[in-house]
Amino acid sequence: MAKLNPSFLSLTLLTIFLTIASAHVFFEERFDDGWESRWVTSDWKKDENTAGEWNYTAGKWNGDPNDKGIQTSEDYRFYAISAEFPEFSNKDKTLVFQFSVKHEQKLDCGGGYMKLLSGEVDQKKFGGDTPYSIMFGPDICGYSTKKVHAILTYNGTNKLIKKEVPCETDQLTHVYTFILRPDATYSILIDNVEKQSGSLYSDWDLLPPKTIKDPDAKKPEDWDDKEYIPDPEDKKPEGYDDIPKEITDPDAKKPDDWDDEEDGEWTAPTIPNPEYKGPWKPKKIKNPNYKGKWKAPMIDNPDFKDDPDLYVYPNLKYVGIELWQVKSGTMFDNVLVSDDPEYANKLAEETWGKHKDAEKAAFDEAEKKREEEESKDAPDSDAEDNDDDDTEDDDDADTETKSDSSSGDADKDVHDEL
């Protein structure tokens, strides 16, 4: 066996050490003991009595009862909470923003996103109007909205990603990761699997496009963009125009009670002629002179001005959660702000990856028990038929359903404004 060069081995170990040493965790929260000292619950909406309370819990089903997070606990409430970390800039660094979220309530309309904020923020007043730098995470509302938000603030304006990134919609824990690199590229991962990637230049409207169609370009007069043309060799069959559209119905017979003197002379009705094929047209053939669809050439956009710091957020300082929920039950855990995608991957596997199978088993067991209870509580069908009070009860149920539907529509409007 060949011996390793000691110098090469030393260099390799040094490289690994420097790589590990250069990785930095700016903020990590697993919501263990003492988490309350690191987070500030906002007073936003408190004076309107619509501020919701957070529960510290492992949830109704979990993979580890000791692995807890914070969960929304009251329906029709606003939630706002934030934590501070040492201010930093992601200039020349990769930025990784990751957290896990679970919708135990089988969410119909609501968000599971988090925010990174910059500068000085009054955490007791943190709310929906507080400026943020990045907003990221899943959003679900009805049948139309089931996607991952990735909103970046540039020059004071919030810009939503132009690509569709579907989110998870079940009642289990999932890990969402946003990676922003110094070359202005990004990746979005769910459960450590990349779901979308690209560039800030193309996937957000942060800057004008680098190139545009030449507004002065015109299609050449001899440009043939007809893919198919009439076959010049195809000739109309002789007698084609003599074929009538309709013919006398050969099966029609004069009614027995028809009186020519009273009803007039009887004539057989007409029917569509099966031989008639409509106006003659020559068949189509491929155009030998077809050049394709003409497109204006692209030129440099005179309005484009590059920003080498397009990806930079110079004074990131807070992470926050700000939500409106019609139906509560969304849980957050394992929040990370770092410059190391590998560490983020490892954290996800140590938390979500380690417990996902046990959590799924616990959920399946809870669903089984729920279905058994519903089956036991189901009223006897014969008793329902003989119950004279059912009509009144149904009217009450209809009223409640309409009330819930109205609230759901209001919540959808909130999400449509994002």
> For the segment 59-111, what is each residue's pLDDT rounded down to a tens digit?
999 999 999 999 999 999 999 999 999 999 999 999 999 999 999 998 888 88
Return the pLDDT at 214.
Answer: 93
Q: What is the per-residue pLDDT across 253-300, written as a single tens digit (0 to 9) for each? A: 989 888 888 888 888 899 999 989 899 999 999 999 999 999 999 999
Ligand-binding site membership of 113 (annotated): yes
Ligand-binding site membership of 262 (annotated): no
Q: Which two tokens stand for residue 105?
A: 């309530």
Q: How confident is the model at residue 316 (pLDDT cuts 50, 70, 90)?
A: very high
Find, among 54, 61, 63, the residue nearest to 36 by Cα.
Answer: 54
**415 has a pLDDT exceeding 50:** no
Q: What is the per-residue pLDDT across 200-255, written as a single tens digit (0 to 9) for each? A: 999 999 999 999 999 999 999 999 999 999 999 999 999 888 899 999 989 899 89
Q: Domains plus CATH for the chain?
A: 22-205+311-368+412-416 (2.60.120.200)
Cβ contact 197:242 at 8 Å: no
Return the pLDDT at 18.
Answer: 45
**25 has a pLDDT exceeding 90:** yes
Cβ contact 356:172 at 8 Å: yes
Q: Give how far Cα 320 sits from Cα of 116, 156, 275, Å.
A: 6, 18, 75
Return the pLDDT at 381.
Answer: 54
Return the pLDDT at 382.
Answer: 54
Q: What is the mean pLDDT of residues 392-405?
A: 42
DSSP code for 294: -
Q: What is the mean pLDDT of residues 328-338?
A: 96
Which is more confidently placed, 339 or 387?
A: 339
- Locate tokens 């579907």: which residue? 166
Q: How confident is the model at residue 305 (pLDDT cuts 50, 70, 90)?
A: very high
Ligand-binding site membership of 48 (annotated): no
Q: What is the per-residue pLDDT across 349-379, written as a single tens digit (0 to 9) for each? A: 999 999 999 999 999 998 898 888 888 877 6
Return the pLDDT at 227.
Answer: 92
The chain-wide mean pLDDT, for the chain, equals 86
Percent of the chain with pLDDT over 70: 85
DSSP code for 313: -
Q: What is the mean pLDDT of residues 185-206?
A: 96
Q: Give how far Cα 413 sits from Cα of 31, 74, 324, Å.
A: 32, 20, 11
**8 has a pLDDT exceeding 70:** no
Percent of the chain with pLDDT over 90: 71
**402 has a pLDDT exceeding 80:** no
What backbone torsions phi and psi does residue 212 show, to the nearest 5 degrees? -135, 165
Find, among 70, 162, 82, the residue nearest to 115 by Cα.
Answer: 82
d(CA 136, CA 375): 40
Q: Which two tokens stand for residue 172?
A: 């289990």
Return the pLDDT at 150.
Answer: 96
